[in-house]
A and B are shown apart, each in its own frame.
Chain A
Amino acid sequence: MIRWARRNPGIAAGGLLLVLIVLIAILAPLMFTVDPTALAPARRTRPPSAQHWFGTDMLGRDVYSRVIYGSRVSLIVGFAVALLSSVFGLAIGVLAGFVRWLDEVVMRAMDGLMSIPPILLAIALMALTRGSVQNVIIAITIAEVPRVGRLVRGVVLSLRELPYVEAAIAAGTRTPRLVWRHILPNTLAPLIVQASYICASAMITEAILSFIGAGTPPIVPSWGNIMAEGRALWQVKPFIVFFPAAALSITVLAVNLLGDGLRDALDPRLAKRL
């Protein structure tokens, strides 16, 4: 176990940290928190103390409780976007790789979507709907799917050239079975690595969207929202911004370490290069 952790420090450190953060998110009510939306106008903008570990915000809400509950929003958005964009990207990539006439059309559309900077694309989509966690997930997923689609298509096209896949085609294996048996298992490794990076970037994008007022509604205690609310006061009360900022950075770091570790472990050839 220890030897394994020494050989895969990224997976061990990132994974451990992430498990810890997930536990904190699940057990939020037991983490000595109070209601993160409870207002207490009489105790506004108090500095950190024994009673309010991270102080209170402009409306007297407990910043510690809001940061702890905020982990739920970040994790849900990160994992949901990673999962959804993997599923849709996989479907698009396999379709484009196997159905030749679709390839050109689909890839041009992906190129078009990719030529809009992702954050701007998410902002534009969020402007069309009202702010909710669900809409944030959909908007970020749409911005991320083209990259996964391209990746999977590339893997599929290179796999199709390999002798054993050609042999399977020559032996009369039907396409669905070919995809299931030979293509999907080989796309899994790069897909998992890509998904971990998407998870990290989705968490940052969610925080950015909420920070500029285009993300989750203000009532939801997400890290971006807490920072947005602390923005007006940050020169006199910097702690309101710094605690959620630190929480976000640590979480994203954990996911990135895990992603780097997985890349090194799953693709030794790539590990030597990057």
Chain B
Amino acid sequence: MSPSIIVVQLLSGLAKAMVLFLIASGLSLIFGVTRVVNFAHGSLYMLAAYLTYSLTAALPFGAASFYVSVLAAAVAVGLVGLVIEVGLLRRVYKAPELYQLLLTFALVLVISDVVKLAWGSENKTGPSAPGLAGSVPIAGQLFPTYDLALIVFGPLVALALWWLFYRTRWGVLIRAATQDREMVAALGVDQARLFTAVFALGSALAGLGGALQVPRQPLTIVMDTSIITEAFVVVVIGGMGSVPGALLAAVMIGVIEAFGVLVLPKATLVMTFAVMAIVLIVRPWGLLGRPESQGRGAGGAIASTSAVPVPRAAIVALLAALVALPPLLPTFHVWVLVEILAFALFAASLHLLMGTGGMVSFGHAASFGLGAYGAALLMKLAGVTMPVAFVAAPVVAAACALVIGFFCVRLSSIYFAMLTLAFAQIAYAIVHQWYDVTGGDNGLLGVWPARWLATPLRYYYLALVACVAGIALLGVIGRAPFGLVLRAARDHARRAEAVGVNVRRHQWLAFVIAGFFGGLAGATFVFLKGSAFPDYFSVPRSVEPLVMVLLGGVQAPAGAPLGAAIYKILDTVATKYTEYWQMVLGVILVTLVLAFPRGVIGVLRRG
């Protein structure tokens, strides 16, 4: 590698890092102060990009139009953030169980369709930045002027943020709030206003990032989802709530990726996640993050109050209906029921982790995918019969969970969540790349039930037995000493250690059990669809059960299957009847969250 290549590649990495930093710093700030895991951050970034695109064309200021548009878009998106915080998030701060996450997920859906409605779904090439559109020779190569400008601009923003945090009273409050929210409240600070301001500032930073990306990247309606994971990665590597950490991590990721494509061109799928996994294993709180002050278990964000009782008669009636009704139903409804059963089990397995154990996983799709691929590969490669593959698949998933869990349970809260995500992505990359075994992204086809099970009804009853047994077993485990101790460790990890509980080992076991049943869900699903694809490991597949658990209600094990049923039915119906199913689903989710801030099962709560 010649020195000129190294210089130019380094500059490329730095330019990308600056945009990443802007987005990640906003996300980090919002999480640090409000503890909101803002999935909609990428949507705000996308919104600003489209606004910049349209404003630049509409404004009459000639060459200055673009720059005015960038500022205007950032401010406008900051205002959108403000409205979201005041209008929606504020209503659910009191619900301690990550319901804000559910709301922001609903916003992702809504904003996505808003952009589609307003701008159409075709890709667009944005305007160049006037005055910076050309290139300059550097080390014998041409390098875009605009990228150089970004490399200068990024640190200026960092400096401005530093000034804000270290030289203003407001900044002192934000830093204090990042470390100890209760203390700031005790100081008599108006927490509501602080949260609103921080959310608006964070949103504006996302907007600035999106606006500045316009000359570098085409506008697409999937910009939101492609940036959000990367932004979380940067935030977590840097340390949640740490702006300098976000800068450091953005530079690290930008530069590693720039050189990574030279050395390992095929590894771009997984490079970022591999880096994150390594950083988190070595430094469980990110590069510049701090351990959270309370000695909570992994996932500290979940703090359920006592469980909600579900009337036994309701469960018996439901089971009777599930056994008796399907022969009377149209075939498609039977198929949908199988899908609901699979997802009910999938969500219930996640509930053991996040509800009972307080460990919020962003990578539970790994168990689902491993179950699906485990079953498919056992049939294709090992030549076992379908029933054997069905039974063995969850064991494969559990075995992998044993390895993944070993690393993950060392971490807490969002760091745990992101490490699970990293492993799911690594699994995704392996499945995606290992053509000879997994068929790559063309997937594994012809994974159908054995002939004697191949009618919809017969397969339904197999799924019913497997999933109901799985959900029931998860319920039994939740009520057994293990479940009780897991809840104790969730409430207070140090206290649990001080009554002789090896907390990590219990969490590890929970991880393996959740992996087992997630794998069973994946196996149930794969024989329904007949094929397995890498997207079984994807981030949306991990987010789905999370949404289901929250929607149903995290405090009761029955909430997860209930949430799965509601979500799947809404999704199936909305997708069938409208092209804008995301909007419909998003609005319904927002309504449900506001109406049932503790999940739908909260209806059953006494008093």
A and B held together in a complex: no
